[in-house]
């Protein structure tokens, strides 16, 4: 199912962990609508960056979310979040820094730079009905406000 011009539902539900463990990660109709809004947000980011985005994690059912070690409060459970990379634009840090300058106009709830030391990592972005426009960095040192 095509959610937007550049994003397909399968990009948001694919999971090697779910496949290995036999977890059904099929979203409900309500979650699919949330994923459509998330994909629309990612379209805005794609336009800002001018490059394709590769979603590495989207929707996660509770069982899958726990299997990957995430919190039960994760917006991934609601279809409101996605982790992605955009190597054609730059490192996750460069991508996050660019998005951070446009949080309000992009409608971003949370922007998190995750485990980006030594050139790895990814960008987590979420979209909700009441965006907080928050930025965080998570790495081996812990969680800190801002893109640091």
Return the pLDDT at 118: 75
Q: Quick one: which H or E segment has residue 101?
A: none
Nearest to 115 by CA among 83, 88, 90, 87: 83
The CATH number that applies at residue 112 is: 3.30.1380.10
For 125, the token pair is 């972005």
Tens-digit pLDDT profile for residues 70-113: 999 999 999 999 999 999 999 999 999 999 999 999 999 999 99
Which tokens belong to 132?
């907080």
Taking the whole predicted model, whether its pTM rises above 0.75 is answered as yes
The whole domain housing 23 covers 9-145
Domain count, the chain: 1
In this prediction, the residues of the chain whose per-residue pLDDT falls under 70 are: none
């Amino acid at each position: 199912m095509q959610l937007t011009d550049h994003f397909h539902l399968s990009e948001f539900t694919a999971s090697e962990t779910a496949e290995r463990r036999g977890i059904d990660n099929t979203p409900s109709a309500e979650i699919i609508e949330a994923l459509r809004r998330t994909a629309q947000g990612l379209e805005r980011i794609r336009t800002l960056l001018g490059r394709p985005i590769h979603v590495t994690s989207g929707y996660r059912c509770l069982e899958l979310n726990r299997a990957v070690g995430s919190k039960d409060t994760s917006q991934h459970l609601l279809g409101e979040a996605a982790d992605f990379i955009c190597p054609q634009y730059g490192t996750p840090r460069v991508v996050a820094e660019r998005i951070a300058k446009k949080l309000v106009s992009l409608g971003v709830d949370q922007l998190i730079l995750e485990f980006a030391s030594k050139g790895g990592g990814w960008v987590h972005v979420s979209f909700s009905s009441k965006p907080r426009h928050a930025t965080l960095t998570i790495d081996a040192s812990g969680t800190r406000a801002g893109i640091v």
